[in-house]
């Protein structure tokens, strides 16, 4: 199984992406990342597949970001640690398929990875 979705069931974009993956008929794994928090190494792997920096996947409207991180200059390692410690900050949904991944907030992004 090569498709994996980092999912938050309380997010409409995440639910829409999950519905599209289900419709595709491809086997997939759902990671409820707020409960099963990705390890630092897993986050690094996903970022490599996304071809993004950690700050690029930070949800900048979340209360924890605004209270603890807004305006701070953190290194990539520090951002990865922040994402691991505060998984609510991770953009969602993220779909990984083999060696590629996308932040699947649009139909085009979903279609490009399935």
Catalytic residues: 11
Beta bridge partners of 28: 3
* Sheet of 100-103, strands arranged across: 28-32, 3-7, 94-97, 100-103
Q: At what angle do helices 76-85 and 40-50 cross, to 10 degrees?
A: 120
């Amino acid at each position: 199984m090569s498709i994996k979705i980092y999912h938050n069931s309380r997010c409409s974009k995440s639910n829409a992406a999950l519905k599209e993956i289900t419709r595709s008929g491809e086997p997939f794994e759902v990671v409820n990342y707020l409960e099963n928090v990705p390890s630092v190494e897993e986050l690094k792997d996903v970022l490599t597949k996304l071809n993004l920096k950690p700050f690029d996947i930070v949800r900048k409207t979340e209360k924890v970001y605004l209270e603890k991180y807004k305006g701070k200059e953190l290194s990539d390692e520090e951002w990865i640690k922040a994402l691991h410690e505060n998984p609510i900050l991770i953009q969602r949904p993220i779909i990984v398929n083999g060696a590629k991944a996308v932040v699947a907030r649009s139909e085009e992004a979903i279609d490009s990875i399935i």
